Structure 1
Amino acid sequence: MTTTATHLRTTALHWSDLHEAAGQPVTIGAFGLGLRGYLARLDAADTEQIEYERHQAAHLRSLERDPVQLGDRPVPVRLHILDTMRAVEAALVACADDIAHHVQRAPISPPPARRTAVAPYLTQREADIAAADRKRRTQLAHADLVDPRRWRYTGRRTAPYAALWLLARIERAPGPCRRLTTDEEHRIGTVAAGAAERIERALDIAAQRRTLEQLHDCGGAIDVHGGEGRPPVAHCTGCGRIWAEGVAAA
Structure 2
Amino acid sequence: MTSTTHQLQQIARLWPDLTDALGTPATIAGFGLGLRGYLAAIEQYDAVEAAALRALERSPEQLGTRPVPVNLRIMDTMRVVEAALHETADQIAATNQLPTRTSHPHRWRYTGTRPGAVRTALWLSARAAGIFWPGRALTEPQERHLRHVAREALHRIETALDLATATHELGPQHTCPCGGSITISGGAGDTPTARCRQCGAIWTEGGVVAA
TM-score, normalisation: structure 1:
0.62
Q: Does 1:233 align with 2:193?
A: yes
1:94-133 aligned at under 5 Å gives the runs: 94-107=87-100
Q: Does 1:171 align with 2:129?
A: yes
Q: Distance in 2 between matches of 1:164 and 1:79?
A: 25
Note closer, same or farther for the CA distance 1:75–1:39 as it changes in structure 2 (3 Å cut): closer
Q: Does 1:242 align with 2:202?
A: yes
What's the counterpart of residue 106 of structure 2? 149
1:67-216 aligned at under 5 Å gives the runs: 74-107=67-100, 141-142=101-102, 146-153=103-110, 154-210=112-168
Partner-residue secondary structure (3-state), 1:205? coil
Instruction: Specify which structure has the bigger relative contact order, considering alpha-carbon pairs within 8 angstroms and separated by 6 or more residues.
Output: 1
Note closer, same or farther for the CA distance 1:84–1:220 as it changes in structure 2 (3 Å cut): same
Q: Which amino acid aligns with 1:242?
A: I
Asked whether the equivalents of residues 91 and 191 of structure 1 are also in contact (C-alpha less than 8 Å), the reply is: yes
What are structure 2's unaligned runs of at least 5 residues?
Answer: 59-65
Q: Distance in 1 between matches of 2:202 and 2:94?
A: 54
Q: Distance in 2 between matches of 1:184 and 1:151?
A: 16
What are structure 1's unaligned runs of at least 5 residues?
Answer: 57-72, 108-140
Q: Distance in 1 between matches of 2:201 and 2:19?
A: 39
Larger displacement relative to structure 2 (216-225 or 158-167): 216-225
Note closer, same or farther for the CA distance 1:43–1:238 as it changes in structure 2 (3 Å cut): same
Sequence identity percentage: 42
Paired residues, number: 189
Note closer, same or farther for the CA distance 1:24–1:210 as it changes in structure 2 (3 Å cut): closer
CA shift for structure 1 position 75: 3.4
CA shift for structure 1 position 209: 3.3
Listed one character per residue, the Cα deviations across residues 190-243 of structure 1 (whole Å, up to 9, x for unaligned) are 111121111111111122235668796879885431113555212346654211
Q: Which amino acid aligns with 2:144?
A: H
Listed one character per residue, the Cα deviations across residues 12-56 of structure 1 (whole Å, up to 9, x for unaligned) are 1111111111012435458479x8x65534999xxx7xxx8xxx9
What's the counterpart of residue 60 of structure 1? none
Q: Distance in 2 between matches of 1:24 and 1:11?
A: 20
Which protein shows a greater Rg? 1
Partner-residue secondary structure (3-state), 2:93? helix
Q: Distance in 1 between matches of 2:125 and 2:86?
A: 13
Asked whether the equivalents of residues 35 and 162 of structure 2 are also in contact (C-alpha less than 8 Å), the reply is: no
RMSD of aligned alpha carbons: 3.7
Q: Distance in 2 between matches of 1:222 and 1:162?
A: 41
TM-score, normalisation: structure 2:
0.72
Asked whether the equivalents of residues 8 and 121 of structure 2 are also in contact (C-alpha less than 8 Å), the reply is: yes
Q: Does 1:40 align with 2:42?
A: yes
Asked whether the equivalents of residues 30 and 41 of structure 1 are also in contact (C-alpha less than 8 Å), the reply is: no
